């Protein structure tokens, strides 16, 4: 037998050590998703603009970010930014900024695929009605692109939540850090990591199941 004992991890311990980390992981996920979608959509529009001065920098940024492991970006930003701005910005803020910047590259590709999935006939119809490029995108293309790509966007958000555990590398107090601290204090590190994995699994499985249901409903509407 492994001699595992989970009795130390009662509700009081979970509230004291884990709840704060869980809240930060959720907050980081939501902020990075919102920021990533906003900046990712701008990057997608830049790449599809047909203007080299916009498309080339956006392409370099997206391909560059997608070619580097997230944990390396987290470490680079956290370690190098104090030399750039002259003072540390803290692990939590460093994680938020890094995740938004990194996830924007992935959401950009999702939104670019969504925009390109809209039939050109609808774009031409908007132009025939006298809409400008911005109005056409805002009123015709982007709403449909968001609807078409919503399951993929939510799936990427689930992956993002899993990736929040990487901020452990810079000492940010996330869900994994909370379990780790509790495990060290009570001398039950193995049990702490097992429980952390179980919590990640339950949350991500529930979200994946919800996304699958949503995808089915969207398919029926279509």
**Could you say which DSSP state residue 90 is in?**
-
The position carrying tokens 């949350």 is 203
pTM score, whole prediction: 0.88
Per-residue confidence of the chain (222 residues) as pLDDT tens digits?
467 777 777 788 888 889 999 999 999 999 999 999 999 999 999 998 888 999 999 999 999 999 999 999 999 999 888 887 777 788 999 999 999 999 999 999 999 998 888 887 777 777 777 777 777 777 888 888 888 888 899 999 999 999 999 998 998 999 999 999 988 888 888 889 999 999 999 999 999 999 888 878 776 555
Alpha helices for the chain (secondary structure H): 11-13, 19-48, 52-66, 70-85, 91-116, 120-128, 133-136, 142-163, 175-186, 189-221
Q: pLDDT digit string (tens) for 157-198?
A: 999 999 999 998 998 999 999 999 988 888 888 889 999 999
Q: How far is CA 49 from CA 16, 192, 218, in A?
A: 50, 49, 29
Q: Which numeric CATH code is attached to 11-221?
A: 1.10.3720.10
* DSSP-assigned letters across all residues of 96-125: HHHHHHHHHHHHHHHHHHHHHTS-HHHHHH
Q: Where are the domains of the chain?
A: 11-221
């Amino acid at each position: 037998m492994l001699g595992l004992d989970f009795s130390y991890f009662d509700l009081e311990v979970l509230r004291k050590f884990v709840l704060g980390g869980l809240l930060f992981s959720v907050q980081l996920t939501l902020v990075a998703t919102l920021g990533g979608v906003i900046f990712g959509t701008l990057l997608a529009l830049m790449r599809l603009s047909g203007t080299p001065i916009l498309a080339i920098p956006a392409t370099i940024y997206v391909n560059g970010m997608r070619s580097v492991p997230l944990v390396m970006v987290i470490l680079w930003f956290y370690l190098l930014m104090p030399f750039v701005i002259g003072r540390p910005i803290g692990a939590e803020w460093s994680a938020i900024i890094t995740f938004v910047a990194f996830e924007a590259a992935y959401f950009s590709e999702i939104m670019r695929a969504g925009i390109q999935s809209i039939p050109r006939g609808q774009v031409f119809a908007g132009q025939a009605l006298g809409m400008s490029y911005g109005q056409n995108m805002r009123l015709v293309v982007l709403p449909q692109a968001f609807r078409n790509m919503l399951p993929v966007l939510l799936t990427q958000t689930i992956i993002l939540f899993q990736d929040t555990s990487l901020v452990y590398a810079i000492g940010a107090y996330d869900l994994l850090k909370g379990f780790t601290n509790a495990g060290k204090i009570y001398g039950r590190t193995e049990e702490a990591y097992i429980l952390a994995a179980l919590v990640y699994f339950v949350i991500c499985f529930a979200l994946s199941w919800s996304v699958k249901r949503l995808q089915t409903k969207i398919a029926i509407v279509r």
